[in-house]
Amino acid sequence: MTEDTDYEVDPENLPRRAPRKPLGPPSVVVDDLHITYRVFGARRGGTAQERKSLWDKAVSLGRPDTGPITHVPAVRGVSFVAHHGESIGILGTNGSGKSTLLRAAAGLLPPTSGRVYTSAEPELLGVNAALMPRLTGERNIVVGGLALGLNAKEVRENVPAVADFAELGDFLYLPMSSYSSGMASRLRFAISTIRTPEILMIDEALATGDASFRKKSTRRIEEIREQAGTVFFVSHSLASVRAMCTRALWIEKGKLVADGDVDEVADAYHAFVEGRTDASSGAKLR
């Protein structure tokens, strides 16, 4: 379980987060959110019909048999309110529901039940951000910029700065399929932050950067937060979460275990992954 924690980043190398400022108005409100995935065709003993619920049987009446359906409850009753000017780390072991929570908060996954309200369309920067491998870095910057709502002139003006931030060098004119994963992740970050988003969600997208790029991107995130944006940050590096965030949510098996000051929640989570406590230790931090 400790593989979830990465101690490689020396906290001393990361800029300290700014002192806490008064919070702005709410930017993201998540109210009793449940997300259950329905996985079709999973086989784990028993026949298809035996393991289908009555509802599933009714829904699939008259349709070709899709095989058994497994329900995966990935997020189970999570509620929180995020404010402008906050950067919030999301902690939790693998498979605890962090990515699902962010995707739902970004409006990419419909809630199974519960609600999500946002003050602006969140920008989700994930490991799978839609860059096109057959296009050059330059074309991806153009397409990404247009997708973010910049006009053609603004995009053209931004290409050199984005390429420079991502440290692409001559690779700018080569297809992205030739990029190293670090290069691709730097480009993804640079494109997503061309325009200062009101709500930025980062799902492990900085993991592959080297120390100097991490420093640079940390600074950029700080800038976004200062411009009264909200930043959500999922990372395997507890040190980065501590350096970058003011608050942390800890989810385990889809449930919110703790929500509070980043250092307190990170300490409790750390004790948990080290096997010193169980997840109930987070409960008092809510």
Ligand X SMILES: Nc1ncnc2c1ncn2[C@@H]1O[C@H](COP(=O)(O)OP(=O)(O)O)[C@@H](O)[C@H]1O
> Which residues make up the interface to Mg ion (CB under 5 A)?
98-99
Token pair listed for 248: 């942390």
Check residue 108 for interaction with ligand X (CB under 6 A): no
Select the residue interacting with ligand X from 27, 96, 140, 217 (CB under 6 A). Answer: 96
Of 174-203, binders to ligand X (CB under 6 A) are none
Displacement of CA 135 from its chain's centroid (Å): 25
Rule CB under 6 A: which of 253-282 touch ligand X? none
Work out how close the CB of 269 gets to Mg ion at its nearest, in angstroms, rounded to a whole number.
Answer: 15
Closest among 187, 103, 206 to 139, alpha carbons compared: 187
- Least CB distance from residue 18 to ligand X, whole Å? 27
Q: Of 202 and 279, which has the nearer Cβ to Mg ion?
A: 202
Tell me the window of 95-103, 147-155, 176-184, 185-193 that interacts with ligand X (CB under 6 A): 95-103
* Residue 72 found at the interface with ligand X (CB under 6 A): yes
- As a 3-state breakdown, the chain gives helix, strand, coil percent values, each rounded to 5, of 40, 25, 35
Q: Total residues contacting ligand X (rule CB under 6 A)?
A: 12
**Nearest residue to 190 via CA among 198, 119, 182, 241:** 182
Residue 124 Cβ vs ligand X, minimum distance, rounded to whole Å: 12
Q: What is the 3-state secondary structure (H, E, C) of 162-190?
A: HHHHCCCHHHHHCEHHHCCHHHHHHHHHH
What is the arrangement of strands in the sheet containing 87-91, beginning at the earlier edge strand?
A: 123-126, 199-203, 230-234, 87-91, 247-252, 255-261
Task: Establish if 94 lies at the interface with ligand X (CB under 6 A).
Answer: yes
Closest distance to ligand X from the beta carbon of 100 (Å): 3
- CA-to-CA distance for 138 and 159, rounded, in angstroms? 7
Residue 227, both tokens = 């411009």
- Shortest reach from residue 236's CB to Mg ion, in Å: 10
Among 7, 37, 40, 117, binds ligand X (CB under 6 A): 37
Q: Which residue has the CB atom at the shortest distance from Mg ion?
A: 99
Which distant-in-sequence residues (6+ apart) come within 8 Å of 44 by Cβ? 68, 70
Cα–Cα distance for residue pair 282/114, rounded to 1 Å? 23
Q: Which of 97, 111, 144, 209 is in the footprint of ligand X by CB under 6 A?
A: 97
Q: Residue 39: which of ligand X, Mg ion, none does it interact with, CB under 5 to 8 A by kind?
A: ligand X
Residue number with CB closer to ligand X (88 or 142):
88
Residue span binding ligand X (CB under 6 A) among the ranges 9-17, 97-105, 122-130, 257-265: 97-105
Query: Which of Mg ion, ligand X, none interacts with 285 (beta carbon under 5 to 8 A by kind)?
Result: none
Q: How far apart are CA 74 and CA 76, in angstroms?
A: 7
Q: Which residues contact 108 (CB under 8 A, 6 or more apart)?
A: 124
Q: From CA 117, how far away is CA 97, in angstroms rounded?
A: 19
Kindly state the smallest distance separating residue 74's Cβ from ligand X, in Å. 3
Binding site residues, ligand X, CB under 6 A: 37, 39, 72, 74, 92, 94-100
